[in-house]
A and B are shown apart, each in its own frame.
Chain A
Amino acid sequence: MSSQPGKSLTEAERDQRVLELFHQLIEVEQRLIPTGLHVFGRPTEVGERADMLRMIASFDRPEAGVRALPDLVSENLGLGSYDALLKSASLNQSRVLEREQVNNLVSAAIHEFLQGGSEVAVSLLERTSNINRQDSMPVFALLEQISKQLETNNEVEALLRALRGEFIEPGPGADIVQNPAILPTGRNTHAVNPYTIPSTMAFDRAEAVAGNLLKRYLAENGRYPRAIALVLWGLDNIKTQGEGVAQAFWLLGVRPVRDSLNRVTEVEAIPLEELKRPRIDVVMTVSGIFRDLFSPTVLLLDKAVRLVARLDEPPEMNYLRRHVLEQVGNDVCRFDDAVARVFSNAPGNYGTNVNFMVTDSQWERDETLGDLFVTRKCFAYGRDSQGCAVEGREARAEMDQALGRVEATYQNIDTFEIGITDVDHYFEYLGGISKAVETRAQVRPSIYLSDSLSRDGRIRSLEETVRLESRAKTLNPKWYEGMLKHGFRGVAEIESHVSNTFGWSATADAVDDWIYTGVAETFVLDEAMLERLRTLNPHSAHSLVGRLLEAHGRGYWDADVNLLGKLREISGSLEDQLEGVA
């Protein structure tokens, strides 16, 4: 960001800059992060439960008759809806103060709840925020139940019962903020009926997220993206009842239609007058797991693409149709080939292998990772014009063509618990497809992620997300000290975060130099820290240092020469330690 030194800003401009900085800081500060690991069968340490409970209380839960606390406070203080407050607070200092007022009252209520129980919290909110007891009581009843459930843990008992041939109850799978009904654990986690997705609620929520995605691209580029590559996973689509799928529908401009059994088996076009923007060409890469768990949905997505491609609409308002017609015209290829947009692995295969190739340092040329992605993912699914199932037809040329038009890549993220540097799957998918686009479109796409659990359906660029994850987790003492409490495994976790961050360099060049420098300073150059790591888990400590050197070696990190020298020295001494020389 160029700050144009020397040129003085007006007061209003300065205020605006400070406000924006403030929001960025708050974003880090309020990010929920895990503060350790779980031990099977042990209850969560009581510790600080306030943040999580406040987060749980920040969502409407119509199924339990519970309204979100911030909304109750905001509305009863006469500040209007909390959503509107969030929106205007990004531009307006006085609204920021009102938002803080609401948040402080909510925090105070949670604090009171933890100290004295529901009754005290309810009374407090009655006094401070004019909230009727019958409105706030259900919230605290829920929190009370969750607190109670967290105090006991029967996971080992459940395992023993299963071994004895007893019934293990089914339960939903999600994180606790999304769905407190995951408690108690020790149950048989199940997926969802694929015919129920996307749910009506997911479809409504997706409208905002898809809208924000397009708005952001528009703001940065002055026009809508003609084609977006989407990554769809089973993970978030189970937990959100299909928000990712619904986002694809919105980009295409279709809505799901339920049959008389309430199953989603059809789609219909949203008229352009209603959509008020062009339909986007959407190239979907679904994980092998999504393909398996949502096989009817795969057909539905393909159906949506075919429907949109056949709409008689002007090409400037229907990018998908435009591209399909162009391709049929230019290449004299079949409609069925030109319209392939739903890709996954070959049947019975999973994953892109991009993560394996990256973590094992097995690639040399930059485009190899993108090619690998396409090799693994170029199998088209759906049904052909004759209505016959297409069970993973190898369609490399079609995928190359489709990706060649892509201008933005995107993945929906639904949870705080699994972040983009927590596992290697995010960079293998979103990073892998971005690299594939880069070589095919001859330009690096804009890369976005959503935060669908955020109240306003926020969109972040990949770079912003990597920074946020690094600040909130990898470089945050609260996070790594939490991990180090777990000794051996904790060091492996830290190493794996660094490797996954490296994955974002390898696939998308999305990691700032300061992040690597921060990692080096925090974990390697700090002698006391290095000593801890090498005592707890020398293997992972050695890998971590090696990864930093590799980041530099591959040109992802413009590191200071002295610093590099020290890293090499430390790497050598760790090697000696492992080989028993030292």
Chain B
Amino acid sequence: MKSIVSKGKAVKLQVTVLYVGSSLLAPLKNAEREISREYKLDLRVAAYNFGSPLNQHEWSEVDHDLAASDVVFVIHVMDGENAARLVPALERYRERHHAVIVINCMPELMRMMRMGSLDVGTFFRDDSTDKKKRRGEGETRGRGDRERKKSNRAFQFLNAAGSWVSRQAGGRRIGNLSKGRHGHGHYLKLVDKLPTILRFMPTAGRLRDVKNYLYLFCYFLQPTPRNIRSMILFALKHYVKDGRLRKLKINIPAPEALPSAAIYHPDAPKLFETFEEYRKWYLRPSPKSKLQSSKAKQLALDADSTVGLLLMRPQVVSKTTKHYDALIHAIEDEGLSVIPAISTLMDNREACQNFFMDTSKSPTSNVQRPTSKIRTTDKGQPTMDKQHSRVSQIVSLTGFSFVGGPAMNDSVASSAFLRNLNRPYRSAVSLDTQSIEAWRESLTGLNPIQAGMQIAIPEIDGATEPFVYGGISATDVEPVALEDRCQRFARRLRRANRLRRVPRSELKLALVLFCFPPTKGNIGTAADLDVFPSVWDILKKLKADGYDVEIPASSEELRGRLLGGNSETFGATANIAYRMDADEYRRLCPYVDEIEPEWGSAPGRINSFGNELLIQGLTLGKVFLGVQPTFGYEGDPMRLMMARGGAPHHGFIAFYTYLTEVMNVDAVIHIGTHGALEFMPGKQVGLSGACWPDRLVGELPNFYIYSVNNPSEGSIAKRRSYAQLISYLTPPMENAGLYRELAALKDLLLAYRQTTDEREREGLFHTIEEYSRTLNFSAGLPPPPPAYRLPKFNRFHSVPKRLDPI
């Protein structure tokens, strides 16, 4: 960023805004332009995203701008490291800055706020000495006291307005939020009430600056381009005191307000405050509308084909919605309807309640399909149809927890609400604290701040599908969509939706087993799980639930058919369900060119036979029971020694190509902890279309039954292969107990303990010593560290050949 050269006699002014997120930059740049033009000023608004820690170079730029600033805004900064550097910088330029306006920041930054007579740092100090004094001397009644009371109330309000986020988070310990008072309600009220309150506040005295602050806060809460322009102008007008602006007549409009909860649609002329209004508009007859094709029309706002989206309010208010717009259109292009609801920062429940749930008692007008019958007769689980949900899936684009906002998460309240609504909950990510370019170039993907805030926390609420769908370019001022990601995400939503809409007897499923190391003996590798009886039970329940599946007579028969079949013919570990010749593979898999440099030309040597790639598995009606190939480098010392893996091998790709392109299954269910798909190369979280797990799983809904005691590897599957985890219990545990000679040894020890006769004790002791030695027990102090043991003898005279080359 270069400084603007002052032109002619234009008054030179600088405002620096340190903010977090992607909604403010565009309105700020707009304000810079408009104010400069309208008032013939040379105004520079320097803006920096403080969402993640800055490096030395970035920081020196910030420092440079702070040194030249008349007014500084610090907004939503929660990063401790940045704050630690910012506080001394603000001290350093104290004389230079006419005002430092701090909004919703951590307390150490709130204390740096200075506007005219309002100096929050001093106020905190005054306040504490004040209290002590009062306690010591007793209160004096009268005018002074009333004044103080009034100003205290104002300060309390200021405090509430300025730092609710940090105060709540600071005071919060895990768990108590759900019991305690909810702060988000507070926030909503603030949005609505503030302008009214301001009218009754005095404009003189100490309270004048408090009032000014609240004005600025009002503008900020509704960050429309006009309000942000007003916010900047307001600060300049009231606080740049050195005469530069004296001659100008500055008019600042009152804050404009938009509803706090509403439905937004990029094609609509306005926000809708009720679902009915939105519905009327959505179903409008319009020649241009996308909903004119008869199929789409039939689907329009049908509760089983509508995606409920949760949008960030500031983003909509500030009109920086290109990324939302593109995603909404991408979803509609897949034949799904949308209800994009504006949610507040702190709590999504109200928006869901208002717009995603039909609270009227009358049944919905949806056509009853045969499948819904089965759904409502399920025992045990209350079904969602009673809730009259208007949506079939919920996608949060807020990047925050469902209840709690940016600085905390009330996962208890979240999951209780979502359980009641009973629709899958997805949380997709827009890059807020790193640029699209940085993400694209990064080998790791999302930076730590986003991985923590936008992935880990929503997961605690039950979110799945952490898709990156948009972000802000380093050269841009507002977020845009990543078109290919939006399309893939939208298609995943459509595929997930199929599982609801299509009669279950028509759905095709793949159950995928693991086999590691790849020998027949290991088919059905899964931590703590007896896989074949598990699969057999699942198949039976699938059939009972209406899926078209053939059930072998027993789990042993199932295993026998999978291990046996034609496996011998092909020298394979398991039965071969399909043979994909190299030409078909090339035709169906778009990545062959990227694989061949690494694994040779297709079909390669793994999972292949002649010119064919072998798909291991068993077809049971519309259910395919497959065996996932392994990494393929286990038996290859050259590949094992490579620091970085590249592409998966042809056989691995062919397996998933078979599922998606040949059999065209509707969903895949991976069985047990764990397989190789989610560990294929690519970014660690926030994948791109070039990452292998993303390519392999494609648009396929992925369910993964997973050991409950392995949350770490499970989370990798969730993030890198978009898996919906279903946890399974670990086996029963018992004490190991003692057996055979060990039990006998214990008896000897107890006998020694109980014997009083000295001779007898000595005899017993010798027996014990001897016996324990034969049992290889060493008693006494811990042994000394073992000396470096040289190989006892030549180590290589009988290394057995391993089984099964496949």
Within 8 Å by CB of A30, from B708, B712, B735, lies B735
B513-527 contacts to A (CB < 8 Å)? 517, 519-522, 524-525, 527
Let me know if A375 is at the binding interface, CB within 8 A.
Answer: yes
* B716 adjacent to A167 (CB under 8 Å): no
* A415 adjacent to B746 (CB under 8 Å): no
B62-82 contacts to A (CB < 8 Å)? 78-81
* A495 adjacent to B521 (CB under 8 Å): yes
Let me know if A138 is at the binding interface, CB within 8 A.
Answer: no
Contacts A266-B80, A376-B643: A51 and B729 contacting too (C-beta < 8 A)?
Answer: no
Q: For residue B393, which residue of chain A has the nearest CB?
A: A165
* A37 adjacent to B530 (CB under 8 Å): yes
What residues of A have a CB within 8 angstroms of the CB of B529 in the complex?
A: 37-40
Bound CA–CA A193/B437 (angstroms): 26
What residues of A have a CB within 8 angstroms of the CB of B496 in the complex?
A: 165
Interface string of A196-230 (1 = CB under 8 A from B): 10000000000000000000100111000000000
Within 8 Å by CB of A260, from B170, B384, B731, B779, lies B170
Contacts A28-B736, A29-B736, A364-B796: A168 and B462 contacting too (C-beta < 8 A)?
Answer: yes
Contacts A48-B734, A193-B460: A260 and B108 contacting too (C-beta < 8 A)?
Answer: yes
Contacts A35-B734, A186-B726, A478-B737: A191 and B715 contacting too (C-beta < 8 A)?
Answer: yes
Within 8 Å by CB of A176, from B57, B542, B730, B795, lies B730
Question: Would you give the shortest CB distance from A312 to chain B, in whole angstroms?
Answer: 21
Let me know if B119 is at the binding interface, CB within 8 A.
Answer: no
B189-215 contacts to A (CB < 8 Å)? none
B387-427 contacts to A (CB < 8 Å)? 392-393, 407-409, 411, 415, 418-419, 421-425
What residues of B have a CB within 8 angstroms of the CB of A195 in the complex?
A: 452
Bound CA–CA A182/B451 (angstroms): 24
Within 8 Å by CB of B800, from A49, A156, A550, lies A550
Let me know if B728 is at the binding interface, CB within 8 A.
Answer: yes
* B633 adjacent to A21 (CB under 8 Å): no
Within 8 Å by CB of A292, from B83, B719, B729, B792, lies B719
Bound CA–CA A394/B643 (angstroms): 9
Q: For residue B666, which residue of chain A has the nearest CB?
A: A163
* B795 adjacent to A235 (CB under 8 Å): no
Within 8 Å by CB of B640, from A173, A345, A357, A438, lies A357
Contacts A156-B541, A170-B462: A372 and B534 contacting too (C-beta < 8 A)?
Answer: no
What residues of B have a CB within 8 angstroms of the CB of A416 in the complex?
A: 733
Bound CA–CA A192/B524 (angstroms): 29
Bound CA–CA A362/B802 (angstroms): 10
Within 8 Å by CB of B531, from A22, A153, A489, lies A489
Bound CA–CA A394/B443 (angstroms): 13
What residues of A have a CB within 8 angstroms of the CB of B500 in the complex?
A: 164-165
Q: Which of B226-234, B254-262, B336-344, B766-774 contacts A (4 or more CB under 8 A)?
A: B766-774
Interface string of B363-391 (1 = CB under 8 A from A): 00000000000010000110110000000
What residues of B have a CB within 8 angstroms of the CB of A467 in the complex?
A: 776
Within 8 Å by CB of A555, from B499, B753, B794, lies B794
Let me know if B713 is at the binding interface, CB within 8 A.
Answer: yes
Within 8 Å by CB of B459, from A34, A170, A538, lies A170
Question: Would you give the shortest CB distance from A226 to chain B, in whole angstroms?
Answer: 15
What residues of B have a CB within 8 angstroms of the CB of A189 in the complex?
A: 706, 708, 710-711, 714-715, 725, 727
Let me know if B26 is at the binding interface, CB within 8 A.
Answer: no
What residues of A have a CB within 8 angstroms of the CB of B392 in the complex?
A: 165
Bound CA–CA A261/B78 (angstroms): 8
Let me know if A391 is at the binding interface, CB within 8 A.
Answer: yes
Interface string of A382-416 (1 = CB under 8 A from B): 01011111011010000000000000000000011
Within 8 Å by CB of A546, from B53, B421, B451, B800, lies B800
Identify the interface centre among A166, A233, A417: most chain B CB within 10 Å of its CB.
A166
Let me know if A451 is at the binding interface, CB within 8 A.
Answer: no
Bound CA–CA A9/B765 (angstroms): 10
Contacts A29-B735, A158-B726, A387-B55: A169 and B462 contacting too (C-beta < 8 A)?
Answer: yes
Interface string of A281-296 (1 = CB under 8 A from B): 0000000111111011
Offer 29 A-B interface pairs, CB within 8 angstroms, sorted by A: A1-B780, A21-B745, A21-B772, A22-B749, A25-B745, A32-B734, A38-B731, A40-B728, A41-B538, A51-B735, A163-B545, A165-B496, A165-B500, A166-B381, A167-B422, A171-B708, A190-B459, A193-B452, A259-B106, A266-B84, A356-B633, A360-B517, A360-B635, A363-B637, A376-B643, A471-B736, A472-B736, A539-B520, A543-B803
Further 20 A-B residue pairs, CB within 8 A, beyond A1-B780, A52-B734? A32-B736, A40-B538, A155-B729, A156-B537, A157-B541, A166-B423, A167-B425, A168-B462, A169-B415, A173-B709, A192-B711, A221-B785, A292-B444, A298-B448, A348-B691, A371-B641, A383-B55, A417-B709, A489-B531, A491-B521
Q: Which are the 10 A-B pairs with shortest beta-carbon distances?
A: A173-B711, A539-B521, A234-B712, A347-B443, A1-B778, A259-B80, A540-B521, A553-B798, A40-B534, A387-B55
